[in-house]
Structure 1
């Protein structure tokens, strides 16, 4: 039998896994089944992506905003990297679209 602390840790990991799975399946289902128009689908993907990051930070990396200053700067750096990756990816996709469409 597991100790209460281990059970609580396992419960947190399982909850994080289920939330991450749902936040992955919702955008895939929206795109696959075309439930929404283009803009709402893109907004759903973006919102689920941000929530996915928060779930991973909370349940898997155990980061909370109420903790030490170092953790805050780690979160700021993480958000900066995510912004650079998302912004760079959008820039590349926009440029490829322009090149392929011949504008």
Structure 2
């Protein structure tokens, strides 16, 4: 009964070095996206694509350096849960965009 509070969840704790690297990468990615918009280096379409790539990269940085997700067997359920969350988000966002596009197309045809 005394060991009920010492359940190993498989989550690793990061080192200070890991957190600093993650923080620096996050700042660099944020400044890059901000600079891309403020300096108008690219056209609108290219800027949106570049910002989306930077955002996806920043998500990966947060998952690896701050949430300590990796492909080890102890992290398997965390990775599966994250994958399921991404799948649901893609379905919801994609479905919303499709519905809004169809509504806009039908409203403009009249």
Query: Is TM (by shorter chain) over 0.5?
Result: yes
Output the CA distance in 1 between the equivalents of 2:83 and 2:16. 28
Q: Which structure is higher in helix share?
A: 1
TM-score by length of 1: 0.69
Output the CA distance in 2 between the equivalents of 1:86 and 1:31. 24
Structure 1 runs of 4+ aligned residues shifted over 6 Å read none
Name stretches of at least 5 consecutive residues in structure 2 with no aligned partner: 1-12
RMSD after superposition: 2.8
The answer on 1:58 being equivalent to 2:58 is: no
Q: Which structure is larger by alpha-carbon Rg, 1 or 2?
A: 2
* Deviation for aligned residue 1:80: 2.7
TM-score by length of 2: 0.65
How many corresponding residue pairs? 90
Output the CA distance in 2 between the equivalents of 1:86 and 1:21. 27
Name stretches of at least 5 consecutive residues in structure 1 with no aligned partner: 1-5
Looking at both structures, which has the greater relative contact order when contacts are Cα pairs under 8 Å and sequence separation is at least 6?
2
